[in-house]
């Protein structure tokens, strides 16, 4: 049906049978998930109907529920499955399916759902989210996501009272004191932000440098960043690969532009890069921003890309205020030759993990998790098991089991 306010609804698509989910593709054509006829269809501009999917590997779909179209033309839809179908239906297991842009193939991309319902993409289309709140046998959710998605997970868990563990990213401070080994600190700052193209929750994206050595340290980091070899992740010579998508690259660049508009300087990088033979890759030059203030957007929000914000400081109290002046509290790094000072600062940092004279170390026995908007709960270590365990108290009144009339009792 088609409805415009102030008028009566009119029929827009007559050949569907209990249409359920509906969306539009990039050409404005309606795409529908049909409940009873067990198929996904597209309403063409000439009024005809194209069947996009009604089977998977020879098995008939059960009851497609929701449908969404990605910018590349690929179509995703849910099929809730279940045991309600007559035996003669040759149905597949429930799950989420993807149809290629040319409609040439259909694939099952998620097959462990019970009753998948709604579908949604993240803003950059790098992540597909599936509503599946009716999984009554699931007692806890563990999610790695951004803060917006984490809040949605919590809201979904409220109605069904599920336990939730969230790891929601960070804006981690990497701190360098004047007495640090500057070569080691430069290496740690370099690796802390450019590992995995900066697409890491623990990325040391804020570099706090004691003012007296800021220029020297920044020069070393800039030289290393400018010499990075971009390329394919399959090439052993590659030092940094592409970002996850074109949309994400645009988003990362917007933070660089925002910082420049607010008075920061781009010491190196900041532009898209084209690699011979990989012209379709979403490459971005490793970027170092100087003259950054802690209140700038590039210093407050998680960029999730190869962008390092350098912020100088003069005394320890100022440093702590700057480092903790973030909504996030996932990780942090400290570089100094004074271990007592390092431990003192580590105690004052509001972060779940502190690395001293190293960055990005993990061990299966050591708990990892964040504070504030970086989430709660732990991965790794004994604490990681706690969200999945329940204690039980059992009381027995042994006085009521006193033997009577010659009956025996075993204690």
Write down the catalytic residue from 18, 183, 201, 347.
Answer: 201
For residues 265 and 288, the answer to whether their CB atoms sit within 8 Å is: no
Which residue in 14, 88, 167, 279 is the catalytic one? 167
The dihedral through the CA atoms of 84, 89, 93, 99 has a sign that is negative
User: How far from the centroid of its chain's Cα atoms is residue 409's Cα?
Assistant: 59
Place of tokens 């050409």: 27
CA distance 176 to 304: 22
Phi, psi for residue 385 in degrees, rounded to 5: -85, -20
Is 261 marked active-site?
A: no
R_g (Cα) of the chain, nearest Å: 28
User: What is d(CA 345, CA 334) in angstroms, rounded to the nearest whole number?
Assistant: 8
The alpha helices in 132-181, defined as continuous H runs, are 147-160
The span from the CA of 286 to the CA of 230, in Å, is 9
Angle at which helices 214-226 and 182-194 pack, to 10 degrees? 50
Asked if 270 and 300 touch (Cβ cutoff 8 Å), the reply is no
**Residue 192 Ramachandran class (φ > 0 left, ψ -120 to 50 alpha, else beta):** alpha
Strand order, beta sheet including 67-69: 67-69, 75-79, 95-99, 106-110
Largest CA distance in the chain: 95
Question: Cα 311 to the chain's mean position, in Å?
Answer: 26
Q: Residue 251 burial (CB < 10 Å; 0-12/13-18/19+)?
A: middle
CA angle 293, 299, 305 (to 5 degrees): 140
CA distances from 39 to 55, 140, 288 (A): 8, 33, 51
Give the tokens for residue 48: 């005809």
Tokens representing residue 301 in the block: 């929000």
172, 205 in Cβ contact below 8 A?
A: yes
183 counts as catalytic? no
| Residue 33: strand, helix, or coil | strand
| DSSP reduced 3-state for 320 | helix
Active site residues: 167, 201
């Amino acid at each position: 049906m088609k409805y415009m306010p102030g008028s009566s609804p009119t029929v827009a698509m007559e050949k569907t049978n209990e249409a359920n989910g509906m969306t539009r593709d990039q050409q404005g054509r309606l795409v529908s998930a049909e409940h009873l006829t067990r198929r996904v269809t597209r309403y063409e501009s000439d009024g005809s109907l194209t069947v996009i999917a009604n089977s998977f590997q020879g098995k008939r779909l059960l009851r497609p529920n929701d449908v969404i179209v990605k910018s590349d033309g690929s179509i995703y839809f849910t099929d809730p499955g279940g045991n309600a179908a007559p035996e003669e239906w040759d149905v597949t297991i429930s799950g989420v399916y993807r149809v290629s842009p040319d409609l040439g193939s259909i694939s099952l991309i998620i097959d462990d759902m019970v009753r998948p319902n709604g579908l949604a993409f993240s803003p950059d289309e790098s992540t597909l989210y599936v509503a599946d709140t009716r999984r009554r046998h699931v007692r806890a959710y563990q999610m790695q996501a951004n803060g917006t998605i984490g809040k949605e997970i919590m809201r979904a868990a409220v109605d069904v009272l599920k336990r939730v563990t969230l790891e929601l990213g960070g804006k981690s401070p990497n701190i360098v004191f004047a007495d640090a080994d500057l070569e080691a600190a430069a290496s740690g700052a370099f690796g802390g932000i450019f590992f995995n193209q900066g697409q890491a929750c623990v990325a040391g994206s804020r570099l706090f440098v004691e003012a007296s050595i800021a220029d020297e340290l920044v020069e070393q980091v800039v030289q290393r960043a400018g010499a990075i070899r971009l390329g394919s992740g399959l090439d052993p010579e590659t030092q940094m690969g592409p970002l996850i998508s074109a949309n994400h690259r645009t988003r990362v660049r917007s933070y660089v532009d925002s910082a420049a508009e607010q008075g920061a300087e781009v010491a190196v990088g900041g532009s898209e890069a084209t690699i011979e033979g990989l012209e379709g890759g979403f490459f971005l030059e490793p970027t170092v921003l100087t003259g950054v203030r802690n209140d700038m957007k590039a210093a407050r929000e998680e960029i999730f890309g190869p962008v390092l914000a350098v912020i100088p400081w003069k005394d320890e109290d100022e440093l702590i205020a700057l480092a903790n002046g973030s909504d996030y509290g996932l990780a942090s790094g400290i570089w100094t030759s004074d271990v007592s000072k390092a431990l003192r600062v580590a105690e004052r940092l509001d972060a779940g993990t502190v690395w001293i004279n190293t960055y990005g170390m993990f061990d299966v026995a050591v708990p990892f998790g964040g504070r504030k908007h970086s989430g709660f709960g732990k991965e790794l270590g004994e604490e990681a098991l706690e969200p999945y365990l329940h204690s039980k108290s059992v009381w027995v009144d042994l006085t009521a089991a006193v033997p009577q009339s010659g009956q025996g009792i075993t204690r």
